[in-house]
Structure formats: structure tokens, C-alpha cells
């Protein structure tokens, strides 16, 4: 927006760039599990290499789309709402304007519309069947896949080279601008961002099993699922703006907001895994007179603990990046400094903040990678 101005295409590219990186990481992890001896065996009978490679990687790609695509689609819908808070347009801008005018009836109308959109998109996506044994469908999906890639790439190039750049002169003066950001203040912002990430991750990991374990009955589970859905539905900027009407900006308030929103996401995964799990151990422990909470903890949750923590390790990578959004509104951490530097066109400060953010994200991914490897 600082370079190209407010443009609807900016929202598309802003969502695509980080999601391409995340999807590439997921696909790379799937491809690493492939047994390449099959590829070598196919090559020995002089089969076309491209066809052999496509045959080898097709099933992992389709399985990833089925397991990861719906979740990523839901995230992209929520991301469009967040971008609307910056004036890009769409339902997010309407939500933000309704909140600013304190028109809460209109605000809830937009939120329920967003909920219907997420639910309908999920139902439609689940109805799509990827039949890898049907050659016609396989060819169709391959064609759609490559056409989407070509269209997206051409759209990106067209936007980059055929749009008027608003503030290019300020970008070209990157190395001429001076930074007023002191070393002590900069280190304080980094520390705030790290603490914000840790506190939010702790809330997102611990809250779902704690609440489900304490209120372990059918009526409570229905209420928890509804509350978790609302936490996922309401964007983090709306949550923190609501809390800021009653409180002053603080690190704990930002951590609570980000933690609650991500707790709604992790609880969905935990509920899904628990509902599909065999409950024989849980029933057996209850029949022996063990308390219901202890039976749930040892008979159900303990079997899902590793996979749940492995997913939370992946989720913490996203939480680190989301601290920028919360920081902009909550006036904490590097996110707030990034907003201030962009507003004043202090590109040297922007570069320093981005390098710091990237360093925190890389260290976080390395640590989470070690955690996930130890859990699998």
C-alpha cells in the first residue's frame, strides 16, 4: 500500500505471497516422504521422466489438498477480513466501519455473513471428491492446477509492471534515510514480540485441553464448540479493538487476544481428533471407578497429545507472524514500530524491523522443527 497505494489487487497478492510460502513448505514435507525407488524403477523401463515424476508425486499432492486445502481456504477468508481493516475493501472494511460507528447490530450481521461464507465453503469443499483412479478426473485436475499457476503468475507480473507506483521516490531513498530508533528501544520491542509470541502460544496450546477436560459433558462440549467457532470467526483486530474500549493497550491484552483466537483454531483440531478416536480405554477406565476427568486425560487426551502438540508447534509459527497484526492495533512489539516507520516513510527503520521479524520467525521455525521431529 505504501508503494502502490490502496488497490484491490494488493489484497490478493498480500494473501498469496505468504500462503505460497506456507503451502510450499507443506508440499516439500510431503515430497520428502516419497519413496524414490519407485521413480527409479519406472525409469528403468524407459518411461517418460515427466510422466513418471507426475505419477509419483500426484497422490501426495492430492492428499495434501484434501487434508490441508480446507483449512487454508478458511484461513484465506479470515485474512481477507483482516486486510479490509487497512482499507483494501470487502467485508472487513464494512466490519471496521460498523465498529467505528458503534453500530453493533450491523457488525454482527456482517460477522454472521462471514460465518455462513466459511461454513458454505467448507461444505462445498468437502463434497469435492479427488478420485485418483479416474484418468479423466486426474487429467482435469492437472489441467486446472497448471492453468491456475499460469494465470496467477501472469496476474502477478501484470500487476507489478503495469501499475503506477505511488511513492517510489521514497523507496529509492532507502539508503539515504536515517533512523531515529534507539538500540535500547529496539531491543525492548524485540523482547516484547518474543514475550507476546510465547504468551499467545501458551494460551493457544493449554486452554483447549484444560477447558474440555474440566467441562467434560455433552452440553458443555456443544457450548465450547460454539464459543471456539466465534473465536475463530471474529478477526483478531475486532477482538482487540473491543477489549481496548475497556482497557489500556498492554502486552498482556495483546497476548490474550492472539491466544484466544488461536485457541479457537487448535480446539477445532483437538475436537476432530477426539471425536474420531477409539474410546475403549476411556470407557474401561470409567467402568473401573476412575473419575471422569482422569479417564478423559489418560484414556483419550494422552493418545492425541503428541499429534496435538506437533500441530501446535506448527501453529506457533503462524502466531509469531500474527504478532505484527496485533502489534499494529495494540501498540506493542515490532508490529507497532513497523506501522510507525511505514507511516513516516522511514525505510531504513522498516528494513531493520523486517530483518528482526524474519530472524525471530526463522529461529521459531527451527525450534518448532526440532519439537515436531521429537514428537513424531
Residue 235: closest CA among 7, 117, 353, 83? 83
pLDDT band at 176, cuts 50/70/90? Answer: low
Residues 162 and 227 in one domain: no
Residue 140 has pLDDT above 50, yes or no: yes
pLDDT digits (tens, 9 = 90+) for 57-101: 766 666 666 666 666 777 777 777 778 777 777 777 888 788 778
pLDDT digits (tens, 9 = 90+) for 298-325: 888 888 888 888 888 878 888 888 888 8
In order of 15, 154, 158, 329, the CA distances from 9 in angstroms are: 10, 13, 11, 23
pLDDT band at 203, cuts 50/70/90? Answer: very high
Residues 303 and 369 in one domain: yes
C-alpha cell at 287: 467402568
Report whether 54 contacts 142 (CB < 8 A): yes
Query: Does residue 60 belong to any structural domain of this protein?
Result: yes
The whole-number pLDDT of residue 102 equals: 78
Report whether 345 contacts 177 (CB < 8 A): yes
Among positive and negative, which fits the CA dihedral 233, 238, 240, 242?
A: negative
Query: Does residue 172 belong to any structural domain of this protein?
Result: no
pLDDT band at 200, cuts 50/70/90? Answer: very high
Residue 346: closest CA among 208, 186, 192, 236? 186
Work out the angle at residue 237's Cα, subtended by the Cα atoms of residues 80 and 1, and round it to the nearest 5 degrees.
55
Query: Which of 111, 131, 166 finishes a domain?
Result: 166
Cα–Cα distance, 354 to 360 (Å, whole number):
10
CA atoms within 13 A on the CB side of 292: 7
Give percent above pLDDT 90 in the chain.
4
Cα–Cα distance, 77 to 114 (Å, whole number):
8
Residues 207 and 60 in one domain: no
Please state the rounded mean pLDDT for residues 194-215. 90
Query: Does residue 196 belong to any structural domain of this protein?
Result: yes
Please state the rounded mean pLDDT for residues 32-50. 70
Query: Does residue 173 belong to any structural domain of this protein?
Result: no
Residues 266 and 354 in one domain: yes
The whole-number pLDDT of residue 18 equals: 80
Report whether 237 contacts 85 (CB < 8 A): yes
Residue 349: closest CA among 190, 177, 166? 177
Please state the rounded mean pLDDT for residues 122-150. 64
Let me know if 328 is exposed, middle or buried by CB neighbors in 10 A (0-12, 13-18, 19+): buried
Residues 353 and 204 in one domain: yes
CATH of the domain at 345: 1.10.3720.10
pLDDT band at 14, cuts 50/70/90? Answer: confident
Report whether 131 contacts 122 (CB < 8 A): no
Other beta carbons within 10 Å of 265: 22
Give percent above pLDDT 70 in the chain.
78
Please state the rounded mean pLDDT for residues 17-40. 75
Please write down the HEC assignment for all residues of the chain. CCCCCCCHHHHHHHHHHHHHHHHHHHHHHHHCCCCCHHHHHHHHCCCCHHHHHHHHHHHHHHHHHHHHHHHHHHHHHHHHHHHHCCCCCCHHHHHHHHHHCCCHHHHHHHHHHHHHHHHHHHHHHHHCCCCCCCHHHHHHHHHHHHHHHHHHHHHHHHHHHCCCCCCHHHHHCCCCCCCCCCHHHHHHHHHHHHHHHHHHHHHHHHHHHHHHHHCCCHHHHHHHHHHHHHHHHCCHHHHHHHHHCCCCCCHHHHHHHHHHHHHHHHHHHHHHHHHCCCCHHHHHHHHCCCCHHHHHHHHHHHHHHHHHHHHHHHHHHHHHHHHHHHHHHHCCHHHHHHHHHHHCCCHHHHHHHHHHHHHHHHHHHHHHHHHHHHHC
Residues 18 and 75 in one domain: yes
Residues 219 and 134 in one domain: no
Residues 246 and 303 in one domain: yes
Residues 196 and 119 in one domain: no
Query: Does residue 282 belong to any structural domain of this protein?
Result: yes
The whole-number pLDDT of residue 160 equals: 65
Query: Does residue 89 belong to any structural domain of this protein?
Result: yes
Residue 178 has pLDDT above 60, yes or no: no
Number of domains, the chain:
2
Query: Does residue 349 belong to any structural domain of this protein?
Result: yes
Residues 49 and 162 in one domain: yes
pLDDT digits (tens, 9 = 90+) for 330-339: 778 888 888 8
Residues 304 and 190 in one domain: yes
Cα–Cα distance, 64 to 68 (Å, whole number):
5
C-alpha cell at 332: 506493542
Query: Which of 166, 193, 223 finishes a domain?
Result: 166
Question: Given its phi and psi angles, is residue 200 left (phi above 0), alpha (psi -120 to 50 degrees) or beta?
Answer: alpha
Residue 214 has pLDDT above 80, yes or no: yes
Report whether 192 contacts 255 (CB < 8 A): no
The whole-number pLDDT of residue 168 equals: 46
Query: Which of 135, 166, 197 finishes a domain?
Result: 166
**pLDDT top residue among 206 and 39:** 206
Task: Please provide the average confidence, as pLDDT, over all residues in the chain.
Answer: 78
pLDDT band at 170, cuts 50/70/90? Answer: very low
pLDDT digits (tens, 9 = 90+) for 220-275: 888 888 888 888 877 787 788 778 777 788 888 888 889 998 998 889 888 888 88
The whole-number pLDDT of residue 128 equals: 61
Structural domain span for residue 302: 183-375
Query: Does residue 171 belong to any structural domain of this protein?
Result: no
Residues 36 and 143 in one domain: yes
Amino acid at each position: 500500500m505504501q508503494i502502490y497505494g490502496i488497490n484491490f489487487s494488493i489484497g490478493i497478492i498480500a494473501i498469496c505471497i505468504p500462503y505460497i510460502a506456507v503451502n510450499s513448505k507443506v508440499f516439500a514435507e510431503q515430497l520428502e516422504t516419497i519413496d524414490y525407488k519407485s521413480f527409479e524403477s519406472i525409469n528403468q523401463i524407459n518411461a517418460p521422466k515427466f510422466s513418471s515424476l507426475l505419477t509419483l508425486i500426484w497422490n501426495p499432492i492430492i492428499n495434501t489438498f484434501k487434508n490441508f486445502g480446507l483449512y487454508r481456504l478458511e484461513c484465506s477468508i479470515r485474512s481477507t477480513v483482516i486486510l479490509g481493516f487497512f482499507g483494501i475493501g470487502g467485508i472487513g472494511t464494512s466490519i471496521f466501519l460498523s465498529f467505528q460507528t458503534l453500530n453493533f447490530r450491523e457488525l454482527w450481521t456482517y460477522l454472521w455473513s462471514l460465518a455462513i461464507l466459511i461454513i458454505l465453503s467448507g461444505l462445498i469443499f468437502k463434497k469435492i471428491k479427488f478420485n485418483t483412479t479416474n484418468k479423466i478426473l486426474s487429467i482435469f485436475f492437472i489441467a486446472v492446477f497448471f492453468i491456475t499457476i499460469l494465470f496467477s503468475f501472469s496476474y502477478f507480473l501484470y500487476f507489478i509492471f503495469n501499475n503506477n507506483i505511488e511513492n517510489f521516490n521514497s523507496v529509492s531513498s532507502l539508503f539515504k534515510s536515517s533512523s531515529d530508533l534507539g538500540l535500547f528501544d529496539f531491543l525492548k520491542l524485540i523482547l516484547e514480540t518474543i514475550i507476546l509470541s510465547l504468551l499467545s502460544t501458551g494460551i493457544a496450546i493449554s486452554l483447549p485441553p484444560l477447558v474440555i477436560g474440566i467441562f467434560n459433558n455433552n452440553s458443555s462440549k456443544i457450548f465450547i464448540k460454539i464459543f471456539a467457532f466465534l473465536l475463530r470467526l471474529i478477526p483478531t483486530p475486532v477482538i482487540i479493538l473491543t477489549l481496548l474500549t475497556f482497557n489500556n493497550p498492554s502486552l498482556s491484552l495483546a497476548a490474550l487476544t492472539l491466544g484466544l483466537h488461536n485457541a479457537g483454531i487448535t480446539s477445532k483440531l483437538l475436537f476432530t481428533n477426539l471425536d474420531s478416536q477409539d474410546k475403549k480405554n476411556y470407557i474401561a477406565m470409567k467402568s473401573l471407578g476412575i473419575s471422569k476427568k482422569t479417564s478423559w486425560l489418560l484414556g483419550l487426551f494422552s493418545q492425541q497429545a503428541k499429534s496435538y502438540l506437533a500441530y501446535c508447534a506448527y501453529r506457533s509459527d503462524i502466531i509469531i507472524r500474527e504478532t505484527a497484526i496485533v502489534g499494529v492495533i495494540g501498540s506493542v512489539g515490532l508490529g507497532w514500530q513497523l506501522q510507525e516507520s511505514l507511516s513516516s516513510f522511514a525505510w531504513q527503520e522498516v528494513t531493520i524491523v523486517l530483518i528482526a521479524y524474519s530472524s525471530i520467525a526463522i529461529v521459531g521455525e527451527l525450534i518448532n522443527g526440532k519439537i515436531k521431529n521429537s514428537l513424531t
